Amino acid sequence: RGRCFDRGVADALAAAAGDASSGIVASSITKDASRAPPPPFNTVDLLKTASKALRLSPAMTMKHAEHLYLDGYLSYPRTETNKFPDSMDIPKALREQTGDERWGAYVSDLLATNAWRRPKKGVDAGDHPPI
């Protein structure tokens, strides 16, 4: 049948399956896809995303951002810029993260396979680097 977003149809299909404990996948299709990376955050985009994805208030978001800034994990969190300067050495910034036990292996893989890309969009407001 393909994708189904109709609750009534989904319920009917579930009822037809009854108490079956297994099923057979008749066919599947996979394809490679890639998207350009999103631009980095400016303050407004950080607040919007934290509110929508994490349900954090602006005050709580900025509190956490300040702590991450003071601990050296992100740049100054009050900025209107959402574009990295052309002079920024992104591979160097990534290499600095390879030793972290939580995401170091992922970053190492990004570097080894050259799977990272510099975000192309964004605005340099001239105040601080993006978050």
Residue 2 has pLDDT above 80, yes or no: no
The tens digit of pLDDT for each residue in 77-104 reads: 999 999 988 888 999 999 999 999 999 9
Rounded to whole angstroms, how far apart are CA atoms 6 and 59? 39
What's the average model confidence in pLDDT over 94-115? 94
Task: Return the pLDDT at 28.
Answer: 82
- The residue ranking higher by pLDDT, 3 or 74, is 74
Residues classed as catalytic: 76
Per-residue pLDDT band for 120 (boundaries 50, 70, 90) equals confident
The tens digit of pLDDT for each residue in 24-53 reads: 878 888 888 888 888 899 999 999 999 999
Please check whether residue 79 is in contact with residue 130, taking contact to mean a CB–CB distance below 8 angstroms: yes
Please check whether residue 41 is in contact with residue 130, taking contact to mean a CB–CB distance below 8 angstroms: yes
Per-residue pLDDT band for 1 (boundaries 50, 70, 90) equals low
Indicate the pTM of the whole model: 0.63
Altogether, the residues listed in the chain come to a count of: 131
